[in-house]
Amino acid sequence: MSKAIARTGSVRALGAMSGTSLDGVDAAIVETDGMTITGFGETGYRAYNAEEREVLRTGLGFWSGPEVDAASELVTDAHKLALSGFPDVDLIGFHGQTLAHDPRGRGTLQVGDGAALAEALDVPVVWDFRSDDVAMGGEGAPLAPFFHFACAKWIVATAPLCFLNLGGVGNLTYVDPTRDRPEDPGALLAFDTGPANAPVNDLVQARLGLHMDRDGAVAKDGKVENGALELFLAEPYFARIPPKSLDRNDFAEMIGLVQELGDADAVATLTGMCAAAVALGMEHCPKPPDRVLVTGGGRHNPVLMQMLQVSLDCPVEPVESVGLDGDMLEAQAFAYLAVRVARGLPTSCPGTTGVRALVGGGIVSVPERS
């Protein structure tokens, strides 16, 4: 029997994230009332195989058609498997897979059927988190900042700090933990810094048949080509005032900038571009942060982490240094956001996505059977 969504108190929410790196489905439990984190629970991961990644890669940039239908079916089925093993779940936050993101044009598209998941798992599912924000004039991304604010409170931070997520695209959240609520003026500033792992993944896949540059093994033997780096940093995006966001393929021409380079130099240069974009982004912070906590796959790359440590004027550490799980932070974020949506709380604000007013985006699908 499916359970009704409790209106008060802490609940066990299960979040799922399938990111632009196209590696797999992260799943994680957060215990929360939608404001305060009261605990973290079990986690899980369901990897995509090579054929599945190719289905998703083929759908990138499409808004409709057979490519989108195939990706949506795959994402829904993968999430059914990934989310089925968690006991005593009150609510699920299902992000889906982003195939296209054009907030000032056609909108944003995350595929996967949340209603079908609710029926299959017999648990209420919150999904389609981004569309309402875009409809209200926002960028629709990034959406994790409200959760980052809760994490700053969880670790009892007292000075401004940044969370840096290095997935397919990089995004930065500046948090002032002295504020009471994430929607308070000055509490948050968030934006996409630029491409992160996606160009590296695409290049090593095309050239070397690798899914990623694991542990920076390719980049560590190369040198950054400064001419390509300067051309990259001349992109108008970096001069735009945040909030701002990117599609995974907005910087696809980066591959062209390194096409004449050998494998190691090309990967090192793309890695350097990620770090340089973050350094430029830090200039937008209202105050210098006390530290930068890195989450996402990029924190496993020692070459990238070293580049960040050299280029930023504050300590750069993986989020594990404060007891958080950098592999699961985004999945946890959508668990937390699901509770906020279900309880009518905002999930984005002008400082995080540029939306005109506070908005709590998402569809709540409740299983029909009772």
List pLDDT tens digits, range 156-172: 999 999 999 998 899 99
CATH classification of 11-141+332-350+358-365 is 3.30.420.40, yes or no?
A: yes
Phi/psi of residue 165, nearest 5 degrees: -95, 120
pLDDT at residue number 222: 98
Question: Does the fold of domain 156-322 match that of domain 11-141+332-350+358-365?
Answer: yes
Q: Residue 278: pLDDT above 90?
A: yes
Question: Mean per-residue pLDDT for 8-14?
Answer: 94
Per DSSP, the three-state class of 293 is strand
Topology of 156-322 in CATH? Nucleotidyltransferase; domain 5 (3.30.420)
**Nearby residues of 156 by Cβ (< 8 Å), 6 or more positions away:** none
Phi/psi of residue 108, nearest 5 degrees: -145, 145
pTM above 0.85, yes or no: yes
Q: Residue 2: pLDDT above 80?
A: no
Domain ranges of the chain: 11-141+332-350+358-365, 156-322
